Amino acid sequence: MESLLEQQRRYHEERERLMDALVQERLMTRTNHKETINSEHRQKLMFDRYEQCTNYLREIYEDKDGERKKEVQALSGPNEFAEFYSRLKGIKEFHRRHPGEICVPMSIEFEEMKKLRENPAEEQNATNFSDEEGYGKYLDLHECYDKYINIKGVDRIDYISFIQRFDKFAEIPKDRKNGDYRTYLRTLTDYLYSFLSRTKPLLELDQELALCLVDLDAKFERGECPGWGKEQHGAMAHSGAHLDLSAFSTSEELASLGLDRLKSGLMALGLKCGGTLQERADRLFMTKGRDVSELPAHIFAKAKPGVKAGKPDNTKHKELAGIEAQIVKMAEIIGEVRNDTIENVERKQARTEGERQESDGEMSEEDGDDDDDDDIPYNPKNLPLGWDGKPIPYWLYKLHGLNISYSCEICGNQTYKGPKAFQRHFAEWRHAHGMRCLGIPNTAHFANVTQIEDAMALWDKLKVQKQEEAWKPEVEEEFEDSKGNVVNRKTYEDLKRQGLL
* pLDDT tens per residue, range 1-21: 567 888 888 889 889 988 988
How do residues 434-450 score in pLDDT, each as one tens digit?
898 888 988 888 888 99
Query: Which residues touch 148 (CB under 8 Å, ≥6 apart)?
Result: 154, 162, 166, 184
Give the range among 47-56, 270-279, 390-399 with minimum mean pLDDT: 270-279
The distance from CA 132 to its chain's CA centroid, rounded to whole angstroms, is 22
Range among 193-197, 301-305, 310-314 with highest mean pLDDT value: 193-197
Q: Name the DSSP letter for residue 479.
A: E
Q: What is the mean pLDDT of residues 21-33?
A: 83
pLDDT value at residue 289:
73
**Residue 416's beta-bridge partner residues?**
406
pLDDT value at residue 103:
65
The distance from CA 223 to its chain's CA centroid, rounded to whole angstroms, is 17
pLDDT value at residue 451:
92
**d(Cα 170, Cα 176) in Å, to the nearest integer?**
12
pLDDT value at residue 457:
92
User: With 50 as the cut, is the pLDDT of residue 233 above it?
Assistant: no
H or E stretch at 86: helix 80-97
Q: Name the DSSP letter for residue 123.
A: P
What distances in angstroms separate CA 13 from CA 59, 349, 444, one per listed residue?
A: 17, 55, 77
User: With 50 as the cut, is the pLDDT of residue 185 above it?
Assistant: yes
Q: Name the DSSP letter for residue 236.
A: G
Q: What band does 372 get if pLDDT is binned at 50, 70 and 90? A: very low
pLDDT value at residue 120:
67
**d(Cα 452, Cα 75) in Å, to the nearest integer?**
86
> Do 300 and 270 touch, CB atoms closer than 8 A?
yes
Range among 37-41, 95-99, 112-116 with highest mean pLDDT value: 37-41
Q: What band does 487 get if pLDDT is binned at 50, 70 and 90? A: confident
**d(Cα 21, Cα 370) in Å, to the nearest integer?**
26
User: With 80 as the cut, is the pLDDT of residue 427 above it?
Assistant: yes
User: With 80 as the cut, is the pLDDT of residue 388 above it?
Assistant: no
Q: Name the DSSP letter for residue 318.
A: H
Treating both helix axes as pointing N-terminal to C-terminal, what angle do 259-268 and 277-285 enclose, rounded to 10 degrees? 40
Q: DSSP per residue over 38-83, as a string?
A: HHHHHHHHHHHHHHHHHHHHHHHHH-TTSHHHHHHHHHHSTTHHHH
pLDDT value at residue 407:
92
Query: Which residues touch 111 (CB under 8 Å, ≥6 apart)?
Result: none
H or E stretch at 478: strand 478-480
Q: What is the mean pLDDT of residues 268-288?
A: 81
Q: Judge residue 45's burial from the number of C-beta atoms within 10 Å of its C-beta, 0-12 exposed, 13-18 middle, 19 or more buried.
A: middle
pLDDT value at residue 365:
52
The distance from CA 400 to its chain's CA centroid, rounded to whole angstroms, is 34
pLDDT value at residue 55:
92
User: With 70 as the cut, is the pLDDT of residue 473 above it?
Assistant: yes
What distances in angstroms separate CA 67 from CA 2, 53, 64, 73, 454, one per listed residue?
A: 13, 19, 8, 10, 84
Full 3-state SS string of 460-477: HHHHHHHHHHCCCHHHHC
- One-letter amino acid at 175 equals D
What are the residue ranges of helices labelled H in 139-226? 142-149, 159-165, 179-199, 205-212, 216-222
Q: Name the DSSP letter for residue 90.
A: H
H or E stretch at 107: helix 106-118
User: With 60 as the cut, is the pLDDT of residue 118 above it?
Assistant: yes
- In 3D, which of 283, 212, 244, 304 has the Cα closest to residue 432? 244
What distances in angstroms separate CA 99 from CA 91, 93, 102, 137, 239, one per listed residue?
A: 12, 10, 9, 52, 79
- In 3D, which of 290, 283, 285 has the Cα closest to residue 274? 283
pLDDT value at residue 350:
78
Per-residue b/e over 137-152, b at no fewer than 16 CB within 10 Å?
bbbbbeebbebbeebe
3-state helix, strand, coil in the chain (%, to 5): 60, 5, 35
Q: What band does 102 get if pLDDT is binned at 50, 70 and 90? A: low
> Can you list the positions of beta strands (E) in 346-445?
405-408, 414-417
pLDDT top residue among 313 and 235: 313
3-state secondary structure of 424: helix
User: With 50 as the cut, is the pLDDT of residue 493 above it?
Assistant: yes
% residues pLDDT > 70 (the chain): 83
How do residues 312-363 score in pLDDT, each as one tens digit?
456 777 788 888 888 888 988 888 989 999 998 888 887 666 666 666 555 5
CB count, 10 Å around CB of 266? 24
Q: For 222, list phi and psi in degrees, rounded to 5.
A: -80, -10
**d(Cα 172, Cα 321) in Å, to the nearest integer?**
12
Treating both helix axes as pointing N-terminal to C-terminal, what angle do 429-438 and 452-469 enclose, rounded to 10 degrees? 60
Q: What is the mean pLDDT of residues 22-44?
A: 84
> Do 223 and 229 touch, CB atoms closer than 8 A?
yes
Q: What band does 499 get if pLDDT is binned at 50, 70 and 90? A: confident
Rounded to 5°, the CA angle 406-408-413 comes to: 105
> Do 24 and 118 touch, CB atoms closer than 8 A?
no
> Do 285 and 256 touch, CB atoms closer than 8 A?
no
How do residues 401-410 score in pLDDT, each as one tens digit?
888 889 999 9
CA pseudo-torsion sign 193, 196, 201, 203: negative
